[in-house]
Amino acid sequence: MNPVEQAFSDSLNDRGPDKSISTNKDRESVHRPLHEDEALCSYILSTVKAPAGALKIRQSTIPDSGSGLFTTRDLAAGELIFTSVPLVLCAEVGDSKEACDFCFQQRRRAIHPVEDRLAHPGETLPDVYKCMGCNLYQYCSESCWQRAWDTGHLYECGLLAGAPYELDIRMLYRILILLRKKVLLPEQVRALARLAHEQDKYEQFSSDWQGVKDIAAEAKQRMKSELDVADVLKLYCLIRCNSVPVDQTFRNSPLGSAIDLGAAMMNHNCEPSIVIVFNSTRVEVRAARNIKAGEELQHCYRDIAYDCTFRSPRIAARYQFKCQCDRCIRESNRHYEGASPDIDDPIIHILATQGDLFAFIEKAKIQALGFGKSFDVSTLLADIANITEEGHAGRRWPDDLEPLPIALKSLAALCEAQGDIINTLKIRVRALGYAKYRNTLPYAEDLIDFVVSLRAFTMYPHRKVVLDGPLPKFKEFEDFCVGHMCALYALMVRFYGEQGRVTRIIRDVMHEEIDKYYGPRPPTRPFRRKFKASHETILKWAGVDAKHWIVEIS
C-alpha cells in the first residue's frame, strides 16, 4: 500500500493519523465525533473560501445526525457563504448525457453551453468530444479532454473497458485510482475517510448487500487498489452519503457528482437555509433566506419540489436516515387529512397516481422527440384529468402537488416541440402558477424556459397561431414578459450572484426586452400596476387563481 492509501485506510479504520507515533490518546481523538476533532474541523474549514471565522463545525441541531456546519454571522438571502473546489468530480455518461467531464458546462438548457447567450430554439450545438480510449467520458472540446487527461484521466482510461454507467461506481473507481497514483494529498484523504458512511445501516436495509459487496470487489480488482475490499466497501458507502449532484436544478438529471469536504458537512432539511450552486466546477454556497448567526446551514438533498412520499424513501435509501422535518410532517398530515374516509391506506393510492403521472411525463418526452407527428392537446389534458380526478386517495389530486405541475411542464414542452406556442404558454402558466417552492433552483430553471417561450411569442406578434378561444391582448403579454424577465433576473442574482454567467446572460436579455418595450419603466409603480393587471388577466386565461402566483417586481 502506498502512503496515501495507507493514510486513507488508517483514518477510515480509526488507527490514528500516523501509526508510528500513535498513542492511546491519538486513538481516542480519532474515535471522537467529527465536530470534537478540532484539528480535522479546522482542516476541513481551511479547504473552503470564506471570511475568517465565519463557519464552525459543531454537533448538528438535528437529533442523531452527527456533525453539521454553522454560520457565525448573520447572512442575507442570496449572500455568498463559501466557495470551494471539490476533491473529486465525476460526470454522468451515456447517450442523452452530455456533461463535459472536465468543465461540466451544461448543454441541455436554454443557455448556450459555450457562448454567453441563450441558445436559439432548435439550434445545433457544437459536437461533444468522446475519449477514444475509454469511449465513456465526454468533453466539450479536445482541449477539455487534454486537460482532463493531464489531471488524472490518463491513469483510469485504460482500466475502464466495459465499466458501468452508474455514477457512484465510476466515482469509486476514480477515487481508488487517485489514491493509488497519489494524486490526492495525505491530509485530504485523512479528512475524506472521516466523512459519514453509514455502512451498518446500509447493510441492514439494503435489499442486495451482496451486490454492493461485489461492486467493491470488482472496483478493487479493476483499479488494482492495494486497499482491503472492506475499505473499498466503506468508501463506496461514503460516496453515496456525501457526494452532491453537480447542477442542483435537478430538472434535467444532474451533470455528475462531486465530493467536496465543505459541502459534505451540511445536513439535510426539506426547507433548506442554503443552496449549493455549481459555477462550472466550483461549488458556491449561498443563503436561500436570511440566516441568523449561530444557525446550522442545511440544504435539501433531493428535488425540493416533490413531496414527502417521493422524497423520503429516496433520501432514506441513499443517506440512511428518515427525515423528520416540519415539512415532512405537514405533508404527510395533508395526505391523511385530504383522503377520502373509505380508503384504508391513502399513501398506496397516492403513490399509484404519482406513478401514472410519471408515466405520462415519460410518454410526453418520447412524443416530443417524434417531430412531425401531431398530437391532440385536449386528449392529453383529458388523460391528466382522468389520472387526477380521484387520484388523491379518492379525492381530486391538488393542483400544486407534484408531479402534476411537472406533468404540465412536459406537456408544454411537447406543445413547444410541435410549434404550438399558444398552448405552450397557457400550459406553462398553469404549471408555474401552481408551483409551490418558488425560491429554488428548479423553479428558476423552469422560469428561464417560460421566459424563453414568452419571448418567442412577443418577438413575432404576427405569426399564425392556433386559438382555442379569445386570447389576452398582445400588449398584456408584453407587460407580462417584461415583468417576468425582471423577476427572473432578481432570482438569478440570488442564486448565481451579480457576476454569475447565467445572471449576466439573463441581464442582457432583460435589457433587450426593456429597450423595446413601450410602456412605463420597470420597476416604477406605474409599471408594477400595469404588470399586475396583465398578470391577472393572463392567469385567468390559463385557468389559474391569481392568489396562487403573486410576483413582486423590485
Ligand X SMILES: C[S@@+](CC[C@H](N)C(=O)[O-])C[C@H]1O[C@@H](n2cnc3c(N)ncnc32)[C@H](O)[C@@H]1O
Coil, helix or strand at residue 326: helix
Helix and strand numbers (H, E) in the chain are 20, 13
Question: Which span (101-109, 134-142, 319-327, 440-448) binds ligand X, by CB under 6 A?
Answer: 319-327
Q: Which is nearer to ligand X, 144 or 270 (CB)?
A: 270
Query: Which residues 478-497 are close enough to bind ligand X by CB under 6 A?
Result: none
Is 53 in contact with 37 (CB distance < 8 Å)?
Answer: no
Q: Which residue has the cell 392567469?
A: 539
Q: How far is the CB of 541 from ligand X (least distance, A)?
A: 42
Examine residue 323 and tell whether it contacts ligand X (CB under 6 A): yes
Coil, helix or strand at residue 272: coil
Binding residues for ligand X, rule CB under 6 A, total 20
> x/- binding map, residues 168-197, to ligand X, per CB under 6 A?
---------------------------xx-
Taking each helix axis as running N to C, give the angle between helix 229-242 and helix 3-12, from 0 to 180 degrees, rounded to the nearest 10: 70
Q: Which is nearer to ligand X, 171 or 265 (CB)?
A: 265
Residues 6+ apart with CB under 8 A from 525: none
∠ Cα 434 113 257 (to 5°): 75
Among 138, 309, 312, 320, binds ligand X (CB under 6 A): 320
SS (H, E, C) 396-448: CCCCCCCCHHHHHHHHHHHHHHCCCHHHHHHHHHHHHHCCCCCCCHHHHHHHH
Cell numbers at 21, concatenated? 507515533
Examine residue 241 and tell whether it contacts ligand X (CB under 6 A): yes
Examine residue 30 and tell whether it contacts ligand X (CB under 6 A): no
Q: How far is the CB of 536 from ligand X (least distance, A)?
A: 39
- How many other CB atoms sit within 10 Å of the CB of residue 358? 15
Examine residue 412 and tell whether it contacts ligand X (CB under 6 A): no
Q: How far is the CB of 264 from ligand X (least distance, A)?
A: 5
Q: Which is nearer to ligand X, 241 or 357 (CB)?
A: 241
Examine residue 319 and tell whether it contacts ligand X (CB under 6 A): yes
Among 34, 148, 300, 339, binds ligand X (CB under 6 A): 34
> x/- binding map, residues 194-223, to ligand X, per CB under 6 A?
-xx-x-------------------------
Q: How far is the CB of 49 from ligand X (least distance, A)?
A: 20
Q: Which is nearer to ligand X, 291 or 421 (CB)?
A: 291
Examine residue 434 and tell whether it contacts ligand X (CB under 6 A): no
Q: How far is the CB of 270 from ligand X (least distance, A)?
A: 8
Is 454 in contact with 429 (CB distance < 8 Å)?
Answer: no
Q: Which is nearer to ligand X, 267 or 309 (CB)?
A: 267
Question: Which span (62-70, 125-133, 335-343, 424-432) binds ligand X, by CB under 6 A?
Answer: 62-70
> x/- binding map, residues 64-103, to ligand X, per CB under 6 A?
-xxxx-----------------------------------
Residue nearest to ligand X (CB): 66
By CB neighbour count within 10 A (0-12 exposed, 13-18 middle, 19+ buried), where does 275 fall? buried
SS (H, E, C) 4-28: HHHHHHHHHCCCCCCHHHCCHHHHH
Examine residue 408 and tell whether it contacts ligand X (CB under 6 A): no
User: Do β-strands 296-299 and 267-268 pair in parallel, antiparallel, or remain unpaired?
Assistant: parallel
Q: Which is nearer to ligand X, 263 or 407 (CB)?
A: 263
Examine residue 424 and tell whether it contacts ligand X (CB under 6 A): no
∠ Cα 113 119 121 (to 5°): 140
Examine residue 60 and tell whether it contacts ligand X (CB under 6 A): yes
Q: How far is the CB of 42 from ligand X (least distance, A)?
A: 16
Cell numbers at 266, concatenated? 451540511
Examine residue 62 and tell whether it contacts ligand X (CB under 6 A): yes
For every residue of 139-207, DSSP letters joined together read ESSHHHHHHHIIIIIHHHGGG-TT----HHHHHHHHHHHHHHTT-S-HHHHHHHHTS---HHHHHHH-S
Q: What is the CA radius of gyration of the chain?
A: 25
Examine residue 321 and tell whether it contacts ligand X (CB under 6 A): yes
Q: 36 in the Ramachandran plot: left (φ > 0), alpha (ψ -120 to 50) or beta?
A: alpha
> x/- binding map, residues 242-281, to ligand X, per CB under 6 A?
x---------------------xx-xx-------------
Q: Which residue has the cell 455528475?
A: 256
Q: Which is nearer to ligand X, 309 or 534 (CB)?
A: 309
Q: How far is the CB of 324 from ligand X (least distance, A)?
A: 7
Chain residues that interact with ligand X, rule: CB under 6 A: 34, 60, 62, 65-68, 195-196, 198, 241-242, 264-265, 267-268, 319-321, 323
